[in-house]
């Protein structure tokens, strides 16, 4: 991140550094050498690094609306997805991917009315992929009745 290196070049340099550490006489059985690319997150982490190199702090502040009062957790992993989609459309072509297409829709209202929640103890509180067409119809009609 600190230098203009590709992920591939960073991984190559990490392997070279590991060889240098071993060559200095470190006991391989007592030394744990790892790369964040392999140990922390694999391809997901590699893509995060590629994307992070394309997006400035000021751009992230603009996209997500962060302020100087926001904590680092909110900045490092924001919960709102829509800004990610917009950022991805901007960054994807710059890292060799097509712009993604998105379909947005309103969420289906809660099956138990406005204040209801899904509950494992109430099979009518959620629509499951294993539900039959008849079960789904009954659950949806029941939701309409609650309104």
Q: Which pLDDT belongs to residue 145?
A: 59
pTM more than 0.85: no
pLDDT at residue 39, as a whole number: 87
Confidence of residue 120 (pLDDT cuts 50, 70, 90): confident
Q: Has residue 134 got a pLDDT over 90? A: yes
Condensed to tens digits (0 to 9), the pLDDT of residues 81-117 reads 788 888 888 999 999 999 988 877 777 777 777 777 7
What are the boundaries of each domain within the chain? 1-53, 56-91, 105-147
**pLDDT (tens digit per residue) in 18-47:** 999 889 998 878 889 888 888 888 888 888
User: What is the predicted pLDDT for the residue at 147?
Assistant: 53
Query: What is the distance between the alpha carbons of residues 37 and 13, in angstroms, rounded to a whole number?
Result: 12
Q: Are 135 and 102 in contact (CB under 8 A)?
A: no
Give the integer Cα–Cα distance in Å for 83 and 69. 19
pLDDT of 17 reads 92
Averaged pLDDT score across all residues of the chain: 84
């Amino acid at each position: 991140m600190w230098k203009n290196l590709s992920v591939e070049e960073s991984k190559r340099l990490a392997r070279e550094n590991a060889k240098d550490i071993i060559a200095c006489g470190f006991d391989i059985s007592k030394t744990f050498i790892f790369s964040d690319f392999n140990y922390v997150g694999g391809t997901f982490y590699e893509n995060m690094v590629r994307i992070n190199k394309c997006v400035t702090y000021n751009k992230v502040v603009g996209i997500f609306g962060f302020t100087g009062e926001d904590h680092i957790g909110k900045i490092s992993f924001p919960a709102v997805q829509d800004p990610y989609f917009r950022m991805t459309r901007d960054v994807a072509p710059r890292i060799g991917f097509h712009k993604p297409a998105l379909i947005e829709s309103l969420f289906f209202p809660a099956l138990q009315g406005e204040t209801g929640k899904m509950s494992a103890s109430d099979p009518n509180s959620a629509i499951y992929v294993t539900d039959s067409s008849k079960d789904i119809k009954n659950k949806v009609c029941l939701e309409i009745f609650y309104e």
